[in-house]
């Protein structure tokens, strides 16, 4: 089967899932691209936006708010180890190349531009690189390998996360039908980290301020989400991401209280306090806050 045939096949599958009743992860053909840094800029006080473009982004695909790419970095000795094409997939060298994983915040097919929002973190490999990089620099990008396709058939959507999940939540809200209803809870340090969101009128957006409490600690996010009263008889989809330990109460809640089927929720640890190169069961994590906005 040719790449073009497979393209139509996975696009057809995405359309089927989106028009259906239950969410599903759909894979896309994976490529490695050499992209050019077009510009950088801040988004609120906590995110740095990296805009990539150039001929290398031609044919890039973006279909789901939680999909991710890997930025590939040189090794300490200066060498660059890249995965190789393997049909519609990639063959990764061992040990794995130095990389960091990020949510695709925006993709403009007309210009080829890709926005990646990086949660700033002192000493982080990618955030330090992004602070210093200038337009014209080149970077290799792998993915996305696929994404979570969520139908528009749910009555309400419950979204939540810390600043590492903010790019995905922002994209989810702006790409949702304007008739969608639900709640979005986002934990940030304070008002300075809040950003503008294009949410449907039927969405209630609540910012939770962490204050001086260390990032990745406390129960504010789980407390706020589990206090939501889902109207009886309505179908709800729950999506949450952030520090793995903070999400444990949510996993129990959706399973034991809401009793949601597996296809009606996705709760992903993007990072874990004190653990480098963290990778949860969903295969999304990428080390100490190094995901999405994944703190790099």
Q: Which helix (H) or strand (E) holds 49?
A: strand 47-53
* Residue 4: partners with Cβ closer than 8 Å, 6 or more residues away: none
Residues of the chain within CATH 2.40.30.10 domain(s) are 8-147
* C-alpha torsion 288→140→68→95, nearest 10: -50
Confidence of residue 120 (pLDDT cuts 50, 70, 90): confident
Convert the pLDDT of each residue in 56-85 to its tens digit. Answer: 999 999 999 999 999 999 999 999 999 999
Q: What is the mean pLDDT of residues 128-150?
A: 96
- Alpha-carbon distance of 200 to 52, in angstroms, equals 28
Question: Could you tell me which of 237, 253, 80, 241 has the C-alpha nearest to residue 167?
Answer: 241
Residue 292, pLDDT score = 42
Convert the pLDDT of each residue in 90-106 to its tens digit. Answer: 999 999 999 999 999 99
Question: Could you tell me which of 216, 286, 266 has the C-alpha nearest to residue 244?
Answer: 216
- The CATH number for 154-271, chosen from 3.30.70.1150, 3.40.50.80, 2.160.10.10, 3.90.1150.200, is 3.40.50.80
Which token pair is 296? 């790099």
Q: What is the mean pLDDT of residues 138-167?
A: 97
Which token pair is 173? 């809200």
Q: What is the mean pLDDT of residues 167-195?
A: 98
**Are β-strands 32-43 and 138-142 bridged in parallel, bridged antiparallel, or unpaired?**
antiparallel
What's the CATH code, domain 8-147? 2.40.30.10
pTM over 0.85: yes
Convert the pLDDT of each residue in 165-175 to its tens digit. Answer: 999 999 999 99
Residue 108, pLDDT score = 97
Cis preceding-peptide flag for 95 (omega within 30 of 0): yes
Convert the pLDDT of each residue in 219-271 to its tens digit. Answer: 999 999 999 999 999 999 999 999 999 999 999 999 999 999 999 999 999 99
Cis preceding-peptide flag for 68 (omega within 30 of 0): no
> CB count, 10 Å around CB of 201?
8
Q: In what order do the strands lie in the sheet containing 236-243? A: 202-209, 181-188, 156-161, 236-243, 265-271
Is the pLDDT at 183 greater than 80, yes or no? yes
Residues of the chain within CATH 3.40.50.80 domain(s) are 154-271
């Amino acid at each position: 089967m040719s790449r073009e045939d497979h393209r139509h096949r996975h696009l057809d599958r995405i359309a089927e899932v989106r028009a259906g009743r239950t969410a599903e992860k759909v894979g896309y053909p994976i490529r490695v691209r050499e992209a050019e840094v077009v510009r950088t800029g801040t988004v609120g006080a906590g995110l740095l936006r990296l805009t990539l473009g150039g001929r290398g982004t031609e044919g890039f695909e973006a279909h789901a708010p939680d999909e991710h790419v890997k930025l590939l970095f040189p090794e300490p000795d200066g060498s660059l180890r890249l995965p190789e094409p393997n049909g519609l997939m990639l063959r990764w060298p061992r040990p794995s190349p130095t990389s960091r994983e990020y949510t695709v915040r925006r993709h403009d097919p007309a210009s080829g531009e890709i926005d990646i929002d990086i949660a700033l973190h002192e000493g982080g490999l990618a955030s330090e690189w992004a602070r210093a990089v200038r337009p014209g620099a080149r970077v290799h990008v792998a993915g996305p390998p696929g994404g979570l396709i969520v139908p528009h058939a749910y009555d309400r959507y419950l979204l939540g996360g810390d600043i590492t999940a903010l790019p995905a939540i922002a994209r989810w809200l702006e790409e949702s039908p304007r008739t969608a209803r639900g709640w979005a809870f986002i934990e940030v340090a304070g008002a300075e980290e809040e950003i503008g969101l294009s949410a449907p009128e039927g969405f209630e957006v609540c910012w939770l301020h962490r204050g001086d409490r260390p990032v990745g600690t406390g129960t504010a996010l789980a407390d706020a989400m589990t206090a939501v009263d889902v109207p009886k008889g309505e179908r709800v989809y729950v999506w949450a991401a952030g520090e793995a330990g903070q999400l444990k109460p949510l996993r129990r809640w959706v399973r034991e209280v809401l009793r949601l089927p597996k296809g009606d929720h996705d709760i992903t640890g993007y990072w874990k306090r004190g653990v480098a190169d963290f990778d949860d069961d969903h295969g999304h994590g990428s080390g100490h806050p190094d995901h999405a906005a994944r703190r790099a």
